[in-house]
Amino acid sequence: MRPTASRLLNILVPVKRTIDYAVKIRVNPDQKGVDLNVKHSMNPFDEIAVEEAVRLREKLKDAVKSIKVVTVGPPKAAETLRTALAMGADSGIHVEIPDSAPAPEPLGVAKALRAVIEKESGGVDLVILGKQAIDDDQGQTGQMLAGLLDWPQATFASKVVVDAGKKEANVTREIDGGLQEVKAKLPLIITTDLRCVSLRSLSVQWLILNSLHHSLNEPRYASLPNIMKAKKKPIQKLTPADLGIDLTPRIETIKVSEPAKRVGGGKVESVDELIAKLKEAGITAVKA
């Protein structure tokens, strides 16, 4: 089909604007959502995806023809695209939804991405996206997109090696108790992990804070010249209607609640008092 261009890769990186992970989440009084009037930034998993795409280009040089970033989100999500462009992506697509619209669900987003991919005249060879967004923790978009497109998927990647000539990729995934290496032909969907299997039970925020050195990569800072260049890179604006998709949620949020507050400890003056307190709390010594 594309005899000469077939060796050149087009990479698409979907990104999401989420509440920044350093922000303390506050539940709204109506318990239907959280306070969104706080600092937002790029979903950290997506940041890793963008970084990986840029590193692939640094490795494969001209074999990577384009890195395009796409977001489905409100007007302000354009800032997230600019950040990705400053990190090294070439151009962006903004599927814009109104501020008042409900947050789209993974299936809606996956369908929007499929439509975007189908519209790309040069085709898309590789989609790299975060394995989950830290706001809703759904972790489904990549897999759904692979299903809709009937493409292979390599999820939770901790290492990616692409052979542009052979049009295939080797992806290392962290799984319980070890590593799994999978190989797949392009076009392919890759979702990026933070590589921290043993710490899985801890909160995402904690994970991100502590696993910077363990992730697939460490996303770069946006340097000033690149930020300036990014301002001039093209962002194409689309609406869900342009793509012929409907983003209306199918799931109703019934209640959002905060985790139980930790109660502070108290101080005791003596061992006797400690024992008394323990008894009070219903803790008794084990009979030998």
Partner 1 sequence: MLSRHLARRIASRSTPRVVRLSHSLPDFQLNSVNEQDVEHFSKILPKTSILSTLAPISTESSELEPYNTDWMNKYHGKSNTVMRPRTTQEVSEIVKWCHERRIGVVPQGGNTGLVGGGVPVRDEVVLNLGSMNKIRSFDPVSGILVADAGCILESLSEYLAPQNHIMPLDLGAKGSCHIGGNVATNAGGLRLLRYGSLHGSVLGLEVVLPDGTILDQLSVLRKDNTGYDLKQLFIGSEGTLGIITGVSILTAPAPNSSNNVILALPSFDNVKPLFKEAKRQLSEIMSAFEFIDRTAYDLAVKHGQGRALNEGDVEGAECFVLVETSGGNREHDEAKLNGLLESLLEADQPLINTGVLSQSPAQFSQLWAIREGITEAVSKEGKAYKYDISIPLGSFKEVVDTTREHLRSKGVLHDGAVKHVIGYGHVGDGNLHLNIVAEAYTQEIEDALEPFVYELVAKYKGSVSAEHGIGLMKTHALHYSKNATSIDLMRRIKSLFDPHGIMNPGKVLP
Question: Which positions lie near partner 1, rule CB under 8 A?
Answer: 20-24, 39, 41-42, 44, 83, 86, 208, 212, 218, 220-225, 227-228, 267, 269
Q: From 113, 189, 183, select the one nearest 151 (Cα to Cα).
A: 189
Return phi, psi of residue 199, to 5°. -105, 20
Q: Tell me how far apart the alpha carbons of residues 257 and 113 are, in angstroms, rounded to a whole number.
A: 31
> Which residues are CB-neighbours of 132 under 8 A, at least 6 positions away?
45, 138, 139
Q: How far is the CB of 79 from partner 1 (least distance, A)?
A: 9
Q: How far is the CB of 206 from partner 1 (least distance, A)?
A: 13
Q: How far is the CB of 209 from partner 1 (least distance, A)?
A: 8
Residue closer to partner 1 (CB basis): 124 or 208 = 208
Q: Which amino acid is at 194?
A: L
Residue closer to partner 1 (CB basis): 162 or 230 = 230
Q: To which H or E segment does residue 15 belong?
A: none
Helix 106-119 and helix 141-149, axial crossing angle in degrees, nearest 10 = 50
Residue closer to partner 1 (CB basis): 9 or 19 = 19
Q: How far is the CB of 224 from partner 1 (least distance, A)?
A: 5
Residue closer to partner 1 (CB basis): 210 or 239 = 210
Residue closer to partner 1 (CB basis): 105 or 135 = 135
SS3 of 236-287: the string is EEECHHHHCCCCCCCCCCCCCCCCCCCCCCCCCCCHHHHHHHHHHCCCCCCC
Residue closer to partner 1 (CB basis): 39 or 261 = 39
Q: Tell me how far apart the alpha carbons of residues 114 and 124 are, in angstroms, rounded to a whole number.
A: 10
Q: How far is the CB of 184 from partner 1 (least distance, A)?
A: 31
Residue closer to partner 1 (CB basis): 50 or 107 = 50
**Residues recorded for the chain:** 288
Q: How far is the CB of 262 from partner 1 (least distance, A)?
A: 14
Q: How far apart are the first and last CA of the chain?
A: 79
Residue closer to partner 1 (CB basis): 161 or 209 = 209
Q: How far is the CB of 175 from partner 1 (least distance, A)?
A: 28
Q: How far is the CB of 288 from partner 1 (least distance, A)?
A: 30
| Residues 12 and 126: beta-carbon distance below 8 Å | yes
DSSP 8-state secondary structure symbol assigned to residue 150: T
| Residues 180 and 158: beta-carbon distance below 8 Å | no
